[in-house]
Amino acid sequence: MIARRKTVRPDKITMINLVWTAMIAVMLTATFTLYHDKSGLTELKYPQVTGRYSDISYY
């Protein structure tokens, strides 16, 4: 009799790893394409946000 060959099919963990890696790659690509031209934001003059801390003893 002729033995039937097993079809090559990735298991569940391999598929999860592939999907996870693809998601990370897509997010990194989207982040880079959205923010690579944002270097001009440092030239904007925003007021500095400052605060004061006073150490007052209540006792």
Using the structure block, give the residue that is written with the tokens 């934001």. Answer: 41
Return the sign of the alpha-carbon dihedral for residues 11, 15, 16, 17: positive
State the pLDDT at residue 23: 98
Contact 10, 18 (CB under 8 A): yes
State the pLDDT at residue 25: 97
Query: What does the block give as tokens for 57?
Result: 């003893």
State the pLDDT at residue 27: 96
Query: What does the block give as tokens for 1?
Result: 């009799």
State the pLDDT at residue 30: 93
φ and ψ at residue 45, rounded to 5 degrees: -100, 90
What is the mean pLDDT of each successive set of 10 residues along the chain, which is 59 residues long?
A: 68 93 96 77 62 68
State the pLDDT at residue 34: 87
